[in-house]
């Protein structure tokens, strides 16, 4: 049983990645390198899209927004983790915890929406190519991104405000290396029914609806591709979706791993490994997935860094 004595919360304690003093510098260097690669790789994609007029299309507009979201997702968690490893302190202030929760929720849910919007873009491009320009016009693209950001921001702010009404016990240890709304709610001594209902509702709507949209879009895409008479056209259509499908699988696979392991497992270490995959590994892999599998992106990156495409 957790302690029931309520206390005025000034800070929470995050999970320590390792208690081995010799391993901590190694982990610090590893995660710092991955964070720098995440920021640099995603910034290069954003700059490549901005600088190359050939990439001023809906597909790359959404990709640049996805890259910016990956930077925000990683920045919401990794710097604090690095600071805690460096200082050998696992504490995070109450205000810092709520702030981290808010930014993490916004970034994660926005990435889910952007992946759904990108799936819809691929659906229109493959299933309705003659109407693509009209259907995916700049106004609609801007509206989709703005609406997604607004919904995700309101949801994250609502969760954060609902956390303010909770009182907490003397056990303030979070089973992750960052503050996450489910883990924070578990530490509360007061009634959490409304918080849990909000969490389940948000998970079903902000997670389930985009995932359903992705599945529906790719079902239609697969059906359309199979009807194509030319094998060359089939391969080209599948190749344009390959990068996006890889990112979708990585994002939802690691995300579900975090929440399933935290819900059904008492092993904080297992949950921590899943969370590292979700917030650190996924953002660092996305730039490589899109740049290595996309000739247009590789060409734009080569121009950006002053190299010829043939050198790749």
224-246 pLDDT, tens digit each: 888 877 777 777 777 778 788 88
Lowest mean pLDDT among 1-5, 50-54, 134-138: 1-5
Task: To the nearest 10°, report the CA torsion of 18, 19, 20, 25.
Answer: 60
- The token duo for 231 is 């094998």
The per-residue pLDDT for 88 is 84
The per-residue pLDDT for 285 is 86
The per-residue pLDDT for 196 is 92
Closest CA to 55 of 290, 235, 289, 250: 290
Q: State phi, psi for 22 to the nearest 5 degrees.
A: -75, -25
Closest CA to 93 of 170, 191, 14: 14
Tens of pLDDT, residues 206-216: 888 999 999 99
Domain topology for 22-311: Rhopdopsin 7-helix transmembrane proteins (1.20.1070)
Closest CA to 112 of 239, 40, 204, 49: 204
> pLDDT band at 262, cuts 50/70/90?
low
Burial 53-63 (b: 16+ CB within 10 A, else e): eebebbbbbbb
The per-residue pLDDT for 215 is 93
The Cα–Cα gap between 206 and 216 comes to 16
Task: To the nearest 10°, report the CA torsion of 49, 32, 184, 163.
Answer: -50
The Cα–Cα gap between 238 and 233 comes to 9
Tens of pLDDT, residues 16-32: 777 777 788 888 999 99
Query: What's the mean pLDDT in 61-65?
Result: 92
């Amino acid at each position: 049983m957790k302690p029931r004595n309520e206390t005025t919360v000034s800070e929470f304690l995050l999970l320590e990645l390792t208690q081995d003093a010799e391993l901590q510098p190694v982990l610090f260097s590893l995660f710092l390198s991955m964070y720098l690669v995440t920021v640099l790789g995603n910034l290069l994609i954003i700059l490549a899209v901005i600088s190359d007029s050939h990439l001023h299309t809906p597909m790359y507009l959404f990709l640049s927004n996805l890259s910016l979201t990956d930077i925000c997702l990683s920045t919401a968690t990794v710097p604090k983790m690095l600071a805690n490893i460096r200082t050998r302190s696992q504490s995070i202030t109450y205000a810092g915890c709520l702030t981290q929760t808010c930014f993490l929720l916004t970034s994660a849910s926005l990435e889910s929406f952007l992946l759904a919007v990108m799936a819809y873009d691929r659906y229109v491009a493959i299933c309705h190519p003659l109407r693509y320009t009209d259907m995916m016009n700049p106004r609609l693209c801007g509206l989709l991104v703005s609406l997604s950001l607004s919904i995700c921001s309101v949801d994250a702010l609502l969760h954060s405000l609902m956390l303010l009404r909770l009182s907490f016990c003397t056990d303030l240890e979070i089973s992750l290396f960052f503050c996450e709304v489910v883990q924070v709610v578990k530490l509360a001594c007061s009634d959490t029914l409304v918080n849990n209902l909000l969490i389940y509702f948000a998970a079903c709507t902000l997670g389930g609806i985009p995932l359903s949209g992705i599945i529906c879009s790719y079902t239609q895409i697969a059906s359309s591709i199979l009807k194509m008479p030319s094998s060359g056209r089939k391969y080209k259509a599948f190749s344009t979706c390959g990068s996006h499908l890889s990112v979708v699988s990585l994002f939802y696979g690691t995300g579900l791993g975090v929440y399933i392991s935290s819900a059904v497992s008492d092993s904080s270490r297992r949950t921590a490994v899943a969370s590292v995959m979700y917030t650190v590994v996924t953002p660092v892999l996305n730039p490589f997935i899109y740049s290595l599998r996309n000739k247009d992106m590789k060409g734009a990156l080569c121009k950006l860094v002053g190299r010829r495409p043939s050198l790749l």
